[in-house]
Chains A and B, each alone.
Chain A
Amino acid sequence: MIKKLPLKKSCLFIILFFLISIAKAQQGISGIHGNFQTDIQYYNADSSINAPPVPEKVLANSFLNLVYSSDKFSAGIRYESYLNALQGFDQRYKGNAFLFRYASYTADDLEVTAGNFYEQFGFGLIFRSYQEWGLGYDNAMDGIRVRYNPHSGIYLKGFIAKQRSFFDYGPGLVRGADGEFNINDIFKSLAEKKTKITVGGSFVSKFQEDNDPVYKLPENVSAFAGRLNLSRGNFSLGGEFAYKINDPNSSNNFIYKNGESLFLTAAYTKKGLGATLTVKRNDNMNFRSDRTAIVNNLILNFLPPTTKSQTYLLANIYPYATQSNGEIGGQAEVFYKFKPESKLGGKYGTNISINFSRLNSIDTIGLNNELGYESDFLKIGDNLYFQEFNLEISKKLNKDLKLILTYITQVYDIDVVQGLIGHGTVYDNIGIAEINYKFNSKHSMRVELQGLFTEQDMKSWAVLLAEYNISPHWFFAAFDEYNYGNDDKDKQIHYFSGSFGYTKGVTRVAAGYGKQKQGLLCVGGVCRQVPASNGLTLSITSSF
């Protein structure tokens, strides 16, 4: 049974918070701070882009964080409001409540947190609890956490908690422990050594009752991970390996196979040059505190995607999302600056960056038993899920004019990445020119011209974007995203939208009006389907 968030407990927290704030503030260690955001949208029905009518007309997601902190003590609450949740957010976000509250103190190198907290172990392969407001992703924990720093360079953490699921908590109990050791800080004799080494290990276990009438499901599922960071001069190496015992769940079709994950990254860097190489392999690593949870609910771990984070509109039409059930691949990246006054650098220097990433299926042999399949660790599967080559050249032409040229080519398996059927694979080429021009010390402008060319899916797109900035307060922007290549004449739609915003210090108000196409919004490898919409948006953020 899922329990409702106990309101009485929230109430107690608030009163405690209140008393402490007053008492402490009078001692002169003031520290009440927080932040606020509201995103409001007015919806028009628009059948031409499949934007459904919204009965409420207006929807809004908002939060207010209120935190008190002093040297040794900190307490906070977050009020969240979904009246009702914006389109595309999980509809289990509904209503108003204090959904996050905690108190924590530090004494003698020990930090204790009671209530809600976020946490990450190592690279996150077996545990990362975090929030991404724009995605409606929040897998906060609720329980007790301790962090202990007994000796210079030794960091220990442990927790026992439940996990948030929208306005409730999931049914599972989660226990975790982590140790990290900065070798050069622990042993004084090594402090000055050129080689810096950090090692760490973590353990996470979840408990969920087995009420299944047919299957005997493991009630306790454990996962382990070990990691290493090594650096010497210009060179560094980091990686984590994780292992999970059998964890039949909805995502892996209730097979009893173990899971494993490897993430390894090497970097070489000196002034003017940076290069990284990352490889990874994920095999049956969907890890949740509730074996029946789906989509972005009750996820315990984070498997970092190894593809470039895109900033341009058209480069985000086909975004890759981590395939936790099985993927193998990696990425290579180079950043280089041609020096000013050199042949290719010109007067101001030229920056280039190159990124190549590729992800395939893992090689599997199906088994006719509860394990589901077996897989050779080093073999790459035959199915290509995603590939991208990205070249960006950025050049300052004179004091006021800067040009950025980008070429991207992608291969994208829609069916696998988005979990659909019958859409096939897209092969595209994208070209982007961006011009930044500064008229004077207050006025500047940015123009983007983008084209995506493909023979598959919705065919080709073009984007024209213009943004005008008046420092320090105003921006005005307008763009048209045009699906000119669509075979269906009725779908050759101009998604036009305009927006403006005002910023003063840490307060920002932005409003926009226009059409938003249906698509996948991804932040940090976690994605949310954004439905098509037509209407007015208003967003306010501020902090104090």
Chain B
Amino acid sequence: MSDVITTQSLTKYYDSLVAVDHISMQVKEGEIFGFLGPNGAGKTTTIRMLVGLTTPSEGTATIKGYDIRKEIVNVKRCVGVVPETSNLYNELTVWENLRFMAGMYHVPKNEREHRITSLLKTFGLTDRRGAKFGGLSKGLKRRATIAAALVHHPEILFLDEPTSGLDVMSARSLRKFLKNLRETGVTVFLTTHYIEEADQLCDRIAIIVKGRIIAVDTPEKLKAVVQGTSVIEVTFTSPVQRINLEELEAYGQVEAKDNTLWIQVTDVSKSLKALTSFADDNGLEVVYMNTVKPSLEEAFVKLTGVESEVMLMEKERRGGGA
């Protein structure tokens, strides 16, 4: 597979702030490439530079071989862009918006109606074709915006936080669509701060923090960073917080809240035996036990040192640990 997006030391300064700091990467044809990072990491700025909405301060990038500085109109011909905000025209209907986009992207006149009809069907918008874009729900607006980005059959689709703010069903449906899109050979470049989404969707992920790419690899290889570490979650019939946990800490880091313990271990089998005898010794009865494999989230935290929103919420739920 050839590289369809290449960046070399791509950089963007806003006055003294470095929004994107000398990033170099390659995206292969036909893959779903995730740009994962916390808010303000530089994900959106990178997309804006690649699609001609912002001029890079330093460095170069090519898309399908076209230089983004010198041949931006050619770049725009082969990409579709779905910005974070669904920005079609509120005053036009869904059909009129798509027809306008087809015209702007020079779709042959005799193909426009067929393509728009097909996209409306794909995105479940056929019965809303005559509705004003401004009157649609957030989920429907998102779908219409993605449909508009696909009307000229782009070879590369950029999506900025595609599921942000969507309800669970809409987000799931969109992820399914993106997976199907890969089968048609379209390269997808998406930014997200949802780690699970990146894990489910992407062939490869670049982790970006404070404008710098700190890792690029497949989700599996990124998870290997924390390979050999699992978490055992065990719930007892009575509270465990006052019990001396030193014995268990020999097997790994322990967190406790109410009746539940989380132990980060390297040898699951040995630890389970120790845990059972620990319960017996302390007169505790186990009501639930589960082993959790290392997640991309843990890899993300280990690589970046940044606790993701999900991790922070989970920590909050556990009451800040033991």
Question: A and B, one complex?
Answer: no
